[in-house]
């Protein structure tokens, strides 16, 4: 039987320690040649509304450990401005609804094992990446966290940061006062730590050992001129990379790795985080490769180290408390979903969660 696993089921079984362990294991398996993934690929097509476009995105990967997964998203993409911030918005059928699915299969017999809603898992895997970066690159005594953003990504990153560091103080800003105050009250109740609600974004940087931009902004939200010595940077949103001033101040840059080139075609190796094909390619569109810009790859190659080299002792990470460091995944999204979804599947099976449907519905006796 194939399982249908929804977001509530995922939330019941998936912990942040499980997520971080699955991701780290996947990255090291990739470096060892025991796993494989490809960069994210998007297809964009104009709709009848010139302010919106359709976007289909997929990413996939698998390992000799037993699982393969492909994750797909079907979205209408547009941008909006709110209190001076430009944000990327999306929906499926109507605002407030989304279509993101993970198909998990067995590499031993090719069986479709599960279809999993990607919403909660998506937030957990991105938060887990932030936690891995903080684990390896922030000062070991990091205890003050500055956050720009107060949504779902801020919540899962809090789980990750508090798992790998002893966070004692959070400084948070987001454009809507009610949202940042609600986030602060929730964090105080969940973690029993002090939270300062900031009235201006520059306040989150003061004394912070970790600064995280965790927003759906379509443009960078970090301000490198405000970073203090010893800060570790995490960035989500803002077209995928921090602002130029932040990058200029980074001393060591941890990129977890790069997706391998196709077999026999080393010239096709890419560091780009995602690739896109478009109908009417000259027409302006929204999406993660917005306005025709090249998808970002290795941002500061002269300062780059990889997770595999760091773990194996072939490279050094932070070497002083004053260094400013930055971490990001690279184009390894496809490696996330077989690893974390595989763990979710195992936990859901053990807990008796999920809706069973006949696997035979997905099989046929005509050779494909």
Average pLDDT over residues 274-279: 90
Q: Measure the CA angle with vertex 341, ends 102 and 145; round to 5°.
A: 110
The maximal CA–CA distance of the chain, rounded, in angstroms, is 64
When pLDDT is cut at 50, 70 and 90, the band that residue 291 belongs to is: very low
Quick check: do 2-122+334-362 and 138-262+296-331 share a fold?
no
Whether 36 shows a pLDDT value over 70: the answer reads yes
To 10 degrees, what angle do helices 177-191 and 152-164 make?
A: 30
Name the CATH topology of 138-262+296-331.
Answer: Rossmann fold (3.40.50)
Alpha helix ranges (H) inside the chain: 7-13, 16-31, 119-137, 152-164, 177-191, 244-249, 307-312, 333-351
Tokens for 258?
């790069």
Chain centroid to CA 272: 15
Interstrand relation of 252-257 and 232-236 (parallel, antiparallel or unpaired): unpaired
Per-residue DSSP letter, 250: -
Interstrand relation of 274-278 and 144-148 (parallel, antiparallel or unpaired): unpaired
When pLDDT is cut at 50, 70 and 90, the band that residue 289 belongs to is: low
Report which of residues 126 and 269 the model is more confident about. Answer: 126
- Neighbouring CB atoms inside 10 A of 28's CB total 17
Query: Strand 210-214's sheet: what is its strand order?
Result: 194-197, 169-173, 144-148, 210-214, 232-236, 325-330, 252-257, 304-306
- Mapped onto helix, strand or coil, the DSSP state of residue 10 is helix
Whether 319 shows a pLDDT value over 90: the answer reads yes
Q: For the stretch 330-365, what's the b/e string if a residue is b when 16 or more beta carbons lie within 10 angstroms of its beta carbon?
A: bbbbbbbbbbbbbbbbebbeeeebbeeeeeeeeeee
To 10 degrees, what angle do helices 152-164 and 16-31 make?
A: 80
When pLDDT is cut at 50, 70 and 90, the band that residue 288 belongs to is: low
pLDDT in tens, 113-143: 999 999 999 999 999 999 999 999 999 999 9
Ranking 48-57, 278-287, 318-327, 335-344 by mean pLDDT, the lowest is 278-287
Tokens for 64?
């000799």
Interstrand relation of 40-46 and 35-37 (parallel, antiparallel or unpaired): unpaired
**pLDDT value of position 292:** 45
Task: Name the strand (E) or helix (H) holding 230.
Answer: none
Average pLDDT over residues 95-111: 97
May I ask the CATH architecture of the domain 2-122+334-362? Answer: 2-Layer Sandwich (3.30)
Q: Which residues contact 45 (CB under 8 A, 6 or more apart)?
A: 53, 54, 278, 279, 280
Domain borders along the chain are: 2-122+334-362, 138-262+296-331
pLDDT in tens, 236-266: 876 668 889 999 999 999 999 999 999 999 9
**pLDDT value of position 12:** 98
**pLDDT value of position 150:** 93
Mean pLDDT value across the chain: 93
């Amino acid at each position: 039987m194939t399982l249908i696993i929804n977001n509530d089921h995922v939330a019941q079984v998936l912990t942040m320690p499980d997520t971080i362990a699955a991701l780290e294991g996947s990255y090291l398996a990739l470096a060892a040649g025991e796993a494989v993934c490809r960069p994210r690929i998007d297809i964009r097509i104009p709709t009848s509304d010139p302010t919106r476009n359709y976007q289909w995105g997929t990413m996939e990967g698998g390992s000799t450990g037993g699982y393969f997964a492909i994750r797909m998203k079907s979205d209408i993409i547009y941008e909006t401005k709110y209190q001076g911030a430009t944000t990327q918005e999306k929906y499926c059928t109507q605002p407030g609804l989304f279509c993101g699915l993970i198909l998990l299969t067995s590499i031993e017999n090719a069986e479709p094992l599960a279809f999993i809603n990607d919403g909660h898992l998506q937030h957990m895997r991105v938060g887990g990446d932030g936690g891995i970066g903080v684990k390896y690159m922030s000062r070991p005594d990091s205890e003050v966290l500055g956050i720009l953003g107060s949504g779902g990504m801020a919540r899962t990153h809090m789980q990750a940061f508090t798992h790998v560091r002893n966070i004692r103080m959070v400084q948070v800003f987001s454009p809507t006062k009610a949202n940042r105050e609600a986030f602060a009250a929730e964090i105080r109740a969940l973690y029993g730590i002090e939270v300062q609600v900031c009235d201006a974004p520059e306040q989150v940087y003061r004394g912070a050992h970790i600064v995280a931009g965790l927003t759906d902004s379509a443009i960078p939200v970090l301000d490198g001129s405000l970073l203090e010595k010893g800060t570790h940077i995490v960035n989500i949103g803002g077209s995928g990379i921090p602002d130029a001033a932040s990058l200029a101040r980074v001393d060591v840059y941890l990129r977890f790795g790069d997706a391998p080139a196709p077999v026999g075609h080393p010239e096709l190796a890419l560091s780009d985080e995602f690739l896109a094909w478009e109908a009417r390619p000259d027409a302006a569109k929204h999406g993660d490769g917005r306005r025709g810009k090249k998808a970002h790859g290795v941002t500061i190659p002269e300062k780059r180290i990889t997770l595999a080299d760091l773990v194996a002792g072939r490279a050094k990470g932070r070497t002083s408390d004053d260094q400013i460091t930055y971490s990001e995944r690279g184009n390894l999204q496809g490696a996330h979903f077989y690893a974390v979804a595989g763990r979710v599947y195992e936990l859901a099976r053990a807990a008796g969660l999920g809706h069973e449907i006949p696997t035979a519905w997905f099989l046929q006796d005509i050779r494909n």
